[in-house]
Structure 1
Amino acid sequence: MASSGMRVYGTVLSCDLAFWGVVWGGLVLLGWPSGEGVALGSLWAMGAGRWLLLHAVSVATQSGRGRPVLRRWVATLCLLGPAFESGKALQWGSSSRGTPIPDPGAAALGVVAATSACLFWELTFPEAERGKGGGEKQQKAWDLFMRVIRYSRPDALHLGAAFLFLSLAVLGETCIPYYTGRVVDLLGSRYQPSSFLSAIGFMALFSFSSSLCVGLRGGMFMWSLSRLNKRMRHMLFRSLVQQEIGFFEETKPGGLTSRLISDIDKMGRSVAMNINVLLRSTVKLLCLLGLMLGLSWHLTVLACVEMPLLALLQNFYNTHCQALMQQLQDCKAEAQEVASSALGAVRTVRSFGAERAEARRYQEVIAKMQAAQWRKDTLKAVLLLLRRLVTVGVKVMMLFYGRRLIASGQLTSGGLLAFVLYQKDMATNTRHLVYICGDMLNCTSAASKVFLYLDRKPREEGAGTLEPPNLEGRLTLRDVTFSYPTKPDAPALNGVSLELCPGKMTALVGPSGGGKSSCVSLLERFYEPQEGQVLLDGRPLHSYQHRYLHRKIAMVSQDPVLFSGSVRDNIAYGLEDCSMERIESAARKANAHNFICELEQGYDTDVGESGGQLSAGQKQCIAIARALVREPQVLILDEVTSCMDVDTQLAMQEVLTGSRGQTVLVVAHRLKTVEQADSILFLEDGVVVEQGTHRQLMARRGRYHRLREKLFSDLDSTGTH
């Protein structure tokens, strides 16, 4: 394949030589004076004719994937000369005439310049054919990048001001080397105080103004970055909290927090930081090329050889670095997950004496992250070494050739110094440009993870709009079959039917894993059943408005979750404009008012992280008050009396029996709690095996009777022992 490509390019160059031979022969026959130039229009006409010829040859000799590259190279080779002559005419006001046939040296430099420019473009902005894996990847990365740009539209004014300051800073920075060269020329020739002071003054002016503009530019870009990160974090968090419960069972919290923190930072950097460097490097590179061409186009062509070599090295680095960056990001997320899980459950770790095991597990993750970081740093060190060798080699060649130009009078010493300074800036900006193009792909990989969660739609049906003013509170499960998303082949409920009546207390009992918690999860609409219906007052549960539904149905779990903050905030959690009278009334009904008043700051006492400053029974009372303050029509209690003392349990009887027409569902493992229930359902293996009152079920001497007898015999033996 390589030899075939070389033959194609050799054929094109041979045809190019033949074209110039024909042109030279025609000019000789016409008696064209030697060294006489032609109008720019004629140069463009010859360039167009040359391009048509070589384009036809390229189409005839090359097909497939390499054809677009060859076409771009042919166009650059044919039109570079006319473009250069036109630029000279516009910039320096020279005669609008150019050399019809270049000398061999200029022709060779033209081939080198065209090849370098095309190679730099292809390596920096690789473009595979559509439909190929690489092309799809590049297109996807570009689409992600443009989407991040669209999210930055609210900051268009700040970004516009940043670009203005960027342009002014570049203008000032590019003028400094020119006046440096002027100072050197003035010192080396006949000294002129006025000219010398003028050059020094302009250097100081441009240095101060460029420094000021650089600071303003950076401030504007950083301000835009902080605003973008704030918007994206809010949007992503809002999307995450709206996902179904099964999503959080399948996804680790550490990975989600990593998306919220580190990945959004990387994504924001692709706009604020990378575009800052990209625009600055591009604008400055164009200005530098113009000034360098004005000093010496020979040295400019030689300096441009460095660009494709640096692009080749950076492209190799980017290709291998993306995989390492992905590994490193995954390791960071895993380390964050291990640390948060261990520190969040430190009581469990301490109670089982698993400190060393957790430390060892975290050390293994850190070691894996360190290995990935070491491979990435080693690759970067090799890149820096090779890049420095290329830079030094090109600079030595440039100084050697510049000495020849000075000796021939085509360049001054100050001009060479200015050119060297320009070339150094150009090399630096070229490296930044190539690096940023690769880093944008890494940032878009982080953006893809953010957008994956941002665009994700909950798998459950969307909430409806029903908000009836009067709700009876009759809940019905009709032939419900349900499996958890993590265990789709293991049904938790199998054809379950039950009804919760207003003003009545219904109890769910049975062994662990029988399906009690699954029923509660469906009634709270944490999940959707695979078969059957869940109805509220005869209408599907998903047809009700989300906030309305969870205001009418309140649940208290066996191990309630309290949030860091005051007791008042925890009771009024999720409610707006909840008065203190309602909070105190709910606390009294939950038998929590007395111990709350005994706290140091009463209702303003901070409960600590996850309610750690309160006992288990106090947390349950506050959780019950949090449910009652909503005045729900349906109240679901999951073993809420397990940590309460006897007095508190007696005070809760009014709540348990369904006062004021409430529909009450009690899930209990202690059968003593449910003896007063109006209806008891015994669930086992996802099926309702018995149903009735306590007296009816005891008379049947079935599963409920055996479970109760076993429980009390265990308690008696424990007490006797």
Structure 2
Amino acid sequence: MRSFIVYVLVLSVDFVAFCVLDDRLSRWSDQGNATACLCWQWVATGIRWVLLSGVVYWANTGSSVVLKRWLTTHCLLGSLFKTGQFVLLGNYPLGTAWRWLSNVLAAASATLFWEFSCPDKTDGSNGKQKTQKARVLFQRVILLYRPDYLLLMGAFIFLTLAVLCEMFIPFYTGRVIDILQSQYQWNEFVTAILFMGLFSLGSSISAGCRGGLFMCAINSFTFRVKIMLFRALMNQEIGFYETTKTGDLTSRLSTDTNLMARAVALNVNVILRRFIKTLGMLSLMLSLSWKLTLLMLMETPITGLLQNIYNTFYQKLSKDVQDSIARANDAAEEAVSGIRTVRGFNTERSESRRYNDRLMDTHNLKNRRDTVRAVYLLVRRITEVGMKVAMLLYGRLIIQSGQMSTGNLVSFILYQSDLADSIRSLIYSFGDMLNSVGAAGKVFEYLDRKPEVSTEGNLQPDSLEGRVQFQNLTFSYPTRRDQKVLTDFSLELKPGQMTALVGPSGGGKTTCVSLLERFYQAQEGEILLDGQPLQTYQHKYLHRKVAMVGQEPVLFSGSVKDNITYGLGKCDLQRVQDAARKANAHGFISQLEKGYDTDVGERGGLLSGGQKQRIAIARALIREPQVLILDEVTSCLDTESEQAVQQALASCPNQTLLVVAHRLKTIERADQIVVIDNGAVIEKGTHKELMEKQGSYYRLKERLFTDS
């Protein structure tokens, strides 16, 4: 209520002051002294602003930012309006009350424009930080374009030539019209047509060269960034992939890298081209008619407000659409990669419904985004038509007064249409560039991410004994930080011995294998290899000396030979065949259509489970590792293959062997059996010793271990 009273008081005081000062203004106008009248108008503006500011301060509402803006705009617009009338029309057709009311409405409109385009933010520091972050990201994107600077420089040169040529086409179009309206001069007509054709040809050639060079720069940049991002993703620890969805990663690789390229090569291209063109057209339009130019510029604040509102909503909806597409891709990838499970559990319809729901979300978001665009285009078209009607009406008056020719008016209208597009394109491209920089931030987030499991060790001893010590390990997975899988875990693996890890599921056996392979980093404790922490060894050296064969081996599309030599580079065929013989895989490989050159299919889908496992064993044995880890590798092997593998392992007496198995025959041969439960060592010893104790191992024998 108090605010309402203050607003009424402010308006009352202002109306009285406006009428009193306007009376003096009318006297000057009646005397025909337009210059003195205009000066008095600005003096009255200052007096009214002081009075209104005093009332607001006295009412103790001076902290209202919107009210301050309205007061300032309300006082200034009257003088600006009358100055424009004096310049364009030379008279003041409105009465006192109508002029005051027009000032109020105009001030309200300007205040709303100010609020939408430059809103006051309570989190000013956050806004400043976001702007600074966008600037830093933009600079980083520009630096990544460094190898393409020659292409970009050439593109900018052709850009300038294309803009300069394009600007003179409307000028000579109007020139041709004026020539045809006057007494026909053949030489002047041919000259105008010739220049118009040359400028058109030059603009086309330069625009084509500019586009080609920019596209070359974009393709080169996208290629480099994708390689950098993929390499950074490959260096991340396993826990990173457990907490990050595959759809997000593929979206960064496929979509965001392309948006990064647009940040400079496309948006900066558009911004510079439109900026140069806008300046050139404004100068030509001022030379044709400065009055029409001032009238035309009245459209710019309205266009800027509409574009700003549109960018705010459209970019937010576009981001939501991208996230929705990533979720839909993730659902489709999960269903396709797990098609055997989907088919086995008869969940085809439920997976189709899930994918349909994700697509429906994307569809709804796209509809909302396109609706916003349709409304924006409608309002923009109405604004354009209104401005063109006003220009034609005022242009008719100027032509009748002899201040402008018909051809010049045609040229001006052509420039005005192109200038409006340039201004809108400038505003849109700037917003789109910020959106592209936001996508670059997501890419740089992965590029700058340091893996939690370090791979920066450099230790590469000439010989390795293979003694492994787990010292007081405490570990929990990144996805379940509050659940400890290992607690104060200690164990030693000796060279030349086979150690078998046994125990119920979830006890920590596979976790020990994963830690030894450096897939994760323990929160407490460390693992020593020959007395040195694992993280001090060079990454490639460590994974050549410590090899693992998992329970579900993964093969890659390619030949059998490529999968056996995976990560080693070139190996002679004899070495590959020796490793395959040790894994009892040479026999079935030789029977394949192309032998070792046979394609195994995507993820090894053309081979059986046992064949894939034997190839995976050969892939490990060809490295001649000092520490070999076998995690349930004999689960898919027949008795003959299992015996062949065991014989091959027995031929390496100095090798440290760690086995996780549920087959009693495999476990009985172990030099050391370690029973693990709840992340701790319960028992350890040979098979005979543990059976005599009749403890946990004895009870597990009948319950878990089988001979088949």
TM-score bracket relative to the smaller structure? 0.7 to 0.9
Query: Does structure 1 conserve the Cα–Cα contact (< 8 Å) formed by 2:66 and 2:111?
Result: no
The one of 340, 349, 364 aligned to 2:342: 349
Alpha carbons of structure 1 residues 710 and 129: separation in structure 2 relative to 1, 3 Å: closer
Report the counterpart of residue 501 of structure 1 in structure 2. Answer: 494
Quick one: which amino acid aligns to residue 156 of structure 1? Y
Query: Is residue 183 of structure 1 aligned with residue 142 of structure 2?
Result: no
Report the counterpart of residue 707 of structure 1 in structure 2. Answer: 700
Alpha carbons of structure 1 residues 711 and 238: separation in structure 2 relative to 1, 3 Å: closer
Deviation at 1:141, TM superposition (A): 2.6
Alpha carbons of structure 1 residues 558 and 450: separation in structure 2 relative to 1, 3 Å: same
Query: Is residue 202 of structure 1 aligned with residue 195 of structure 2?
Result: yes
Q: How far, CA to CA, are the matches of 2:88 and 2:182 in structure 1?
A: 36
- The Cα offsets for residues 29-80 of structure 1, whole Å up to 9 and x where unpaired, read as xxxxx99xxxxxxxxxxxxxxxx9999999999999799999x99xx99xx9
The one of 525, 548, 554 aligned to 2:547: 554
Report the counterpart of residue 252 of structure 1 in structure 2. Answer: 245
Deviation at 1:308, TM superposition (A): 1.2
Report the counterpart of residue 607 of structure 1 in structure 2. Answer: 600
Q: How far, CA to CA, are the matches of 2:655 and 2:48 in structure 1?
A: 88
- The Cα offsets for residues 81-115 of structure 1, whole Å up to 9 and x where unpaired, read as xxxxxxxxxxxxxxxxxx9xx8686899xxx9xx9
Quick one: which amino acid aligns to residue 598 of structure 1? Q
Alpha carbons of structure 1 residues 53 and 679: separation in structure 2 relative to 1, 3 Å: farther
Deviation at 1:319, TM superposition (A): 1.5
Alpha carbons of structure 1 residues 596 and 125: separation in structure 2 relative to 1, 3 Å: farther
Alpha carbons of structure 1 residues 359 and 68: separation in structure 2 relative to 1, 3 Å: same
The one of 314, 327, 330 aligned to 1:334: 327
Alpha carbons of structure 1 residues 586 and 296: separation in structure 2 relative to 1, 3 Å: same
Report the counterpart of residue 620 of structure 2 in structure 1. Answer: 627
Report the counterpart of residue 316 of structure 1 in structure 2. Answer: 309
Quick one: which amino acid aligns to residue 652 of structure 2? S
Mapping for residues 7-26 of structure 1, pairs under 5 Å = none
SS of 1:666's partner is strand
Deviation at 1:558, TM superposition (A): 1.0
Query: Is residue 544 of structure 1 aligned with residue 537 of structure 2?
Result: yes
Report the counterpart of residue 374 of structure 1 in structure 2. Answer: 367
The one of 154, 175, 199 aligned to 2:147: 154
Alpha carbons of structure 1 residues 67 and 170: separation in structure 2 relative to 1, 3 Å: farther
Query: Does structure 1 conserve the Cα–Cα contact (< 8 Å) formed by 2:452 and 2:521?
Result: no
Q: How far, CA to CA, are the matches of 1:589 and 1:164 in structure 2?
A: 65
Query: Does structure 1 conserve the Cα–Cα contact (< 8 Å) formed by 2:662 and 2:704?
Result: no
Query: Is residue 263 of structure 1 aligned with residue 256 of structure 2?
Result: yes
The one of 219, 228, 232 aligned to 1:235: 228
Report the counterpart of residue 84 of structure 1 in structure 2. Answer: none
Deviation at 1:605, TM superposition (A): 0.9
Report the counterpart of residue 31 of structure 2 in structure 1. Answer: none
Identity %: 53
Query: Does structure 1 conserve the Cα–Cα contact (< 8 Å) formed by 2:675 and 2:683?
Result: yes
Report the counterpart of residue 676 of structure 1 in structure 2. Answer: 669
Query: Is residue 481 of structure 1 aligned with residue 474 of structure 2?
Result: yes
Deviation at 1:125, TM superposition (A): 8.3
Alpha carbons of structure 1 residues 67 and 275: separation in structure 2 relative to 1, 3 Å: farther
Alpha carbons of structure 1 residues 63 and 709: separation in structure 2 relative to 1, 3 Å: closer
Q: How far, CA to CA, are the matches of 1:164 and 1:625 in structure 2?
A: 59
Q: How far, CA to CA, are the matches of 1:118 and 1:465 in structure 2?
A: 64
Query: Does structure 2 conserve the Cα–Cα contact (< 8 Å) formed by 1:130 and 1:136?
Result: no
Alpha carbons of structure 1 residues 122 and 468: separation in structure 2 relative to 1, 3 Å: farther
Mapping for residues 209-228 of structure 1, pairs under 5 Å = 209-228=202-221
Q: How far, CA to CA, are the matches of 2:402 and 2:511 in structure 1?
A: 91
The one of 573, 579, 582 aligned to 1:580: 573
Moved more, 587-596 or 144-153: 144-153
Quick one: which amino acid aligns to residue 468 of structure 2? L
Mapping for residues 415-430 of structure 1, pairs under 5 Å = 415-430=408-423
Q: How far, CA to CA, are the matches of 1:548 and 1:55 in structure 2?
A: 78
Alpha carbons of structure 1 residues 118 and 571: separation in structure 2 relative to 1, 3 Å: farther
SS of 1:632's partner is coil
Moved over 4 A (4+): 1-4, 52-70, 102-108, 115-130
Q: What 5-or-longer segments of structure 1 have no aligned partner? A: 26-33, 36-51, 81-98, 717-721
SS of 1:691's partner is strand
SS of 1:480's partner is strand
Quick one: which amino acid aligns to residue 405 of structure 1? I
Q: How far, CA to CA, are the matches of 1:401 and 1:347 in structure 2?
A: 74
Query: Does structure 1 conserve the Cα–Cα contact (< 8 Å) formed by 2:550 and 2:631?
Result: yes
Deviation at 1:355, TM superposition (A): 0.7
Quick one: which amino acid aligns to residue 710 of structure 1? R
How many residue pairs align between the two structures?
Answer: 667
Report the counterpart of residue 291 of structure 2 in structure 1. Answer: 298
Alpha carbons of structure 1 residues 499 and 67: separation in structure 2 relative to 1, 3 Å: farther
Query: Is residue 514 of structure 1 aligned with residue 507 of structure 2?
Result: yes
Moved more, 376-385 or 623-632: 623-632
Q: How far, CA to CA, are the matches of 1:120 and 1:174 in structure 2?
A: 31
Aligned-residue CA RMSD in angstroms? 3.9
Query: Does structure 2 conserve the Cα–Cα contact (< 8 Å) formed by 1:504 and 1:658?
Result: no
Alpha carbons of structure 1 residues 550 and 247: separation in structure 2 relative to 1, 3 Å: same
Q: How far, CA to CA, are the matches of 1:272 and 1:332 in structure 2?
A: 25
Q: How far, CA to CA, are the matches of 1:206 and 1:284 in structure 2?
A: 14
The one of 518, 522, 532 aligned to 1:525: 518
Alpha carbons of structure 1 residues 127 and 435: separation in structure 2 relative to 1, 3 Å: farther
The one of 450, 459, 462 aligned to 2:443: 450
Query: Does structure 1 conserve the Cα–Cα contact (< 8 Å) formed by 2:263 and 2:436?
Result: yes
Query: Does structure 2 conserve the Cα–Cα contact (< 8 Å) formed by 1:583 and 1:629?
Result: yes
Deviation at 1:497, TM superposition (A): 1.1
SS of 2:485's partner is strand
Q: How far, CA to CA, are the matches of 2:153 and 2:490 in structure 1?
A: 63
Quick one: which amino acid aligns to residue 322 of structure 1? Q
Moved more, 626-635 or 414-423: 626-635
Q: How far, CA to CA, are the matches of 2:123 and 2:371 in structure 1?
A: 34
Q: How far, CA to CA, are the matches of 1:380 and 1:269 in structure 2?
A: 21
The one of 453, 456, 464 aligned to 1:471: 464
Query: Does structure 2 conserve the Cα–Cα contact (< 8 Å) formed by 1:258 and 1:333?
Result: yes
Q: How far, CA to CA, are the matches of 2:440 and 2:371 in structure 1?
A: 26
Query: Does structure 2 conserve the Cα–Cα contact (< 8 Å) formed by 1:506 and 1:678?
Result: yes
Query: Does structure 2 conserve the Cα–Cα contact (< 8 Å) formed by 1:478 and 1:497?
Result: yes
- The Cα offsets for residues 352-396 of structure 1, whole Å up to 9 and x where unpaired, read as 111101000000000011111111000000000000000000000
Q: How far, CA to CA, are the matches of 1:247 and 1:449 in structure 2?
A: 15
Report the counterpart of residue 385 of structure 1 in structure 2. Answer: 378
User: Scaled by the length of structure 1, what TM-score is found?
Assistant: 0.84
SS of 2:551's partner is coil
Q: How far, CA to CA, are the matches of 2:120 and 2:146 in structure 1?
A: 27
Deviation at 1:487, TM superposition (A): 1.0
Q: How far, CA to CA, are the matches of 1:56 and 1:146 in structure 2?
A: 45
Quick one: which amino acid aligns to residue 607 of structure 1? V
Q: How far, CA to CA, are the matches of 1:548 and 1:648 in structure 2?
A: 29
Q: How far, CA to CA, are the matches of 2:116 and 2:694 in structure 1?
A: 82
Report the counterpart of residue 557 of structure 2 in structure 1. Answer: 564
Q: How far, CA to CA, are the matches of 1:678 and 1:422 in structure 2?
A: 90
SS of 1:659's partner is coil
Mapping for residues 38-187 of structure 1, pairs under 5 Å = 131-187=124-180
Q: How far, CA to CA, are the matches of 2:688 and 2:492 in structure 1?
A: 20
Q: How far, CA to CA, are the matches of 1:132 and 1:663 in structure 2?
A: 59
Query: Does structure 2 conserve the Cα–Cα contact (< 8 Å) formed by 1:567 and 1:607?
Result: yes
